[in-house]
């Protein structure tokens, strides 16, 4: 596994370190020892998947508040997405900043989303499936969201947004959000 630290402290993309031969390749997508060597302590307790049928769909930006704040590892297993994280950690030097990267079934890159970040994505093609690994169980009581179209965050979505849930349309803007205190 190849860990690439992002400009938002604590966030990473993770690329596969492939062992290839004539049959194809083998690679780890998770190894606790390798994460711990990077100083990334994560205890996976839940795995989820999502399928988005239409190109330009946006899901997010989602997070969970303490004490159920979670770290996520996100991988696109079919199709292609523009994956986005926003730092919403109180007193962070990159508070309100975002980072985006393409995850797809060809590059097999994963996004490591630390606690205190909002996460969302836009589908770049039809029929996209993601795999999520979570460090905390889902808690409706602790769920939160950040408006995907917040002008102060100013995320550069690559396509016009054509599909978004009613819930995601009404998340608060950054100025209305209580920062995450970890």
> Which residue of the set 95, 99, 132, 138 is catalytic?
132
Judging by beta carbons within 10 Å of its beta carbon (0-12, 13-18, 19+), is residue 97 exposed, middle or buried?
middle
Count CB-CB contacts under 10 A for residue 142.
16
Write down the residue that tokens 């994963």 correspond to: 110
Sheet holding 128-134, edge to edge: 2-5, 12-15, 110-113, 72-78, 128-134, 46-52
Q: Which of 62, 119, 134, 171 is catalytic?
A: 62
The answer to whether 112 is a known catalytic residue is no
171 included as an active-site residue: no
Catalytic positions, written as ranges: 62, 132
């Amino acid at each position: 596994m190849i860990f690439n630290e992002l400009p938002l402290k604590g966030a990473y993309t993770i690329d596969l370190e492939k062992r290839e031969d004539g049959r194809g390749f083998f690679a780890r997508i998770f190894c606790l020892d390798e994460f711990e060597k990077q100083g990334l302590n994560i205890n996976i307790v839940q795995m989820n998947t999502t399928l988005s049928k239409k190109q330009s769909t946006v899901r997010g930006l989602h997070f969970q508040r303490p004490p159920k704040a979670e770290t996520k590892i996100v991988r696109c297993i079919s199709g292609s997405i523009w994956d986005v994280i926003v730092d919403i950690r109180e007193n962070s030097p990159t508070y309100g900043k975002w980072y985006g990267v393409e995850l797809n079934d060809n590059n097999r890159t994963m996004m490591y989303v630390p606690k205190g970040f909002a996460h969302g994505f836009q589908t770049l093609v039809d029929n996209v499936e993601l795999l999520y690994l979570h460090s905390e169980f889902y808690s409706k009581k602790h769920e939160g969201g950040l408006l995907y179209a917040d002008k102060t965050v100013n995320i550069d979505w690559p396509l016009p947004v054509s599909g978004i849930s009613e819930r995601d349309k009404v998340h608060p803007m950054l100025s209305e959000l209580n920062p995450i205190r970890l």
